[in-house]
């Protein structure tokens, strides 16, 4: 997994979209990000019981569909490659531009910021240039290759994206 993570970071640094696609399971990654953001939105605006489940399910599905257009190999390359992400349109459900990481250089530094979570899962922690909470990149073994399947956004970024999502009128179930 360390070599796969190094390949991902090299592809991100070089802006190689084809190589990024080889390292990333985009449908799972988009769903993971959407679920984290929607969970935060539900936490900010508490719902209970079936309303909570409906909001989580429908919200995650809708946001993942929007992320299909927003989270491209180029945007992901900018996020993990230490470059600024261009802001999305003001009516977009999320703006990924606050996500920026400090570039990791060298295999030892990469190893220092990564490790196994389980035999089939490996996490890479990417620090932010402002020394804020890091971005965690989750990889899973898929067949014979390690692929990125999730991003755990820093709390401040996730909270901001959730507020934007709710502010744009993310559908909420009617309460009795």
> Residue 25's pLDDT is what?
94
> Residue 112's pLDDT is what?
86
Distance CA 66, CA 34 (A): 9
Q: Which of 104-132 are b and which e, b meaning 16 or more Cβ less than 10 Å from the residue's Cβ?
A: beeeeebeebbeeeeeeebbbbbbbeeee
For Cα atoms 22, 139, 41, give the angle at the middle one, nearest 5 degrees.
110
pTM of the complete model? 0.77
> Residue 159's pLDDT is what?
85
pLDDT in tens, the chain (176 residues): 988 988 888 888 888 989 999 999 999 998 898 888 888 888 887 777 888 888 888 888 888 887 887 788 888 887 777 776 766 655 555 556 556 676 667 788 888 889 999 999 999 888 877 777 778 889 999 989 999 999 888 888 888 888 877 775 554 444 44
> Residue 100's pLDDT is what?
62
Long-range own/partner contacts, residues 49-57 (CB < 8 A, 24 or more apart): 51/172, 51/173, 51/175, 54/173, 55/172, 55/173
* CA nearest neighbour of 2 among 149, 124, 153: 124
Q: Yes or no: say if 33 and 71 are a contact pair by the CB < 8 Å rule.
A: yes
> Residue 146's pLDDT is what?
95
| DSSP 8-state assignment for residue 90 | T
């Amino acid at each position: 997994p360390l070599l796969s993570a190094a390949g991902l970071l090299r592809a991100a640094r070089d802006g190689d979209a084809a190589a990024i696609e080889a390292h990333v399971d985009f449908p799972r990654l988009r769903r993971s990000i959407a679920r984290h953001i929607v969970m935060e939105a539900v936490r900010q605006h508490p719902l209970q019981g079936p309303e909570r489940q409906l909001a989580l399910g429908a919200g995650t599905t809708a946001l993942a569909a929007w992320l299909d257009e927003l989270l491209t190999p180029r945007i992901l390359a900018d996020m993990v490659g230490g470059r600024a992400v261009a802001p999305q349109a003001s009516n977009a459900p999320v703006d990924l531009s606050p996500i920026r990481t400090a570039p990791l250089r060298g295999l030892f530094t990469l190893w220092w910021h990564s490790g196994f979570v389980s035999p089939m899962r490996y996490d890479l922690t990417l620090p932010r240039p402002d020394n804020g909470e890091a971005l965690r990149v989750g990889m899973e073994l898929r067949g014979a290759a390690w692929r990125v399947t999730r991003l755990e956004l820093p709390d401040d970024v996730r909270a901001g994206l959730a507020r934007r999502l709710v502010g744009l009128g993310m559908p909420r179930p009617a309460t009795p």
